[in-house]
Amino acid sequence: MRSRPRNVRKTGPDRALTLFAWLAAFLLLLSCLPSRAEDEAVPDIYADSVLASLGLPYARAYALVTAAGVTYVPIPLLGDREYTLRQREGVENTIHVMKDGVYMASATCENQDCVHQGEVTVQNRGTRILGSLIICLPNQVEVALYTFEEMEALLNDAFAASGAREAEE
Ligand SMILES: [Zn+2]
């Protein structure tokens, strides 16, 4: 097991800007989210997490959306909400998040594979062909479900890789 750098938090928001494209629409929608899951205890590890340093509320799972190689801010799964990703005229995907999962509600792609892939939840991802993923090949959109712990590990690795790259330059 690789060790996680302990100095991740102080590089938080600035470093994050170089890692994620912050879409205005996503930020606007995120700002409308409830600040936390109301009926769930927030674990102690959240206070010292990268997710907290990014200003994202605690959730048991997050949806990570990537479109044409751009990764967006993780969406905490706190309840029913829809996000429409418009890449350009006629290329749209509407992602529906729920408290325990996510699915592609609609898409402009011809094959509609992404819509037919159904929902991915923490409970069902072990039995789905695509695991934690929902993939829209025509629109180059990928949605991945991560638990809090997985999301945190991914962000730690991303920051560590980014830090190593900067140190080399
Ligand atoms: Zn599709």
Give 97-153 pLDDT, tens digit per residue.
Answer: 999 999 999 999 999 999 999 999 999 999 999 999 999 999 999 999 999 999 999
Distance in Å, CA 95 to ligand 1 centroid: 11
pLDDT band at 159 (very low <50, low <70, confident <90, very high): confident
pLDDT band at 161 (very low <50, low <70, confident <90, very high): confident
Q: Name all domains of the chain by residue range, CATH numbers in brackets.
A: 9-168 (2.60.320.10)
Distance in Å, CA 106 to ligand 1 centroid: 8
Distance in Å, CA 143 to ligand 1 centroid: 11
What would the pLDDT profile of 74-103 be if each residue is shown by its tens digit?
Answer: 999 999 999 999 999 999 999 999 999 999
Using CA atoms, how far residue 69 sits from 39, 55, 155, in Å, is 35, 23, 17
CA distance between the termini of the chain: 27
Distance in Å, CA 63 to ligand 1 centroid: 17
Torsion of CA 81, 85, 86, 87, to 10 degrees: 180
- Determine the Cα–Cα distance for residues 166 and 122; give it in Å rounded to an integer: 35
Res 160: pLDDT: 87
Longest dimension (CA), the chain: 46
Distance in Å, CA 109 to ligand 1 centroid: 5
Res 39: pLDDT: 60
Residue 120 token pair: 């991915």
Res 20: pLDDT: 57
Q: What is the pTM of this model?
A: 0.77
Distance in Å, CA 135 to ligand 1 centroid: 7
Residue count of the chain: 169
Distance in Å, CA 133 to ligand 1 centroid: 13
Q: Is the pLDDT of residue 51 over 90?
A: yes
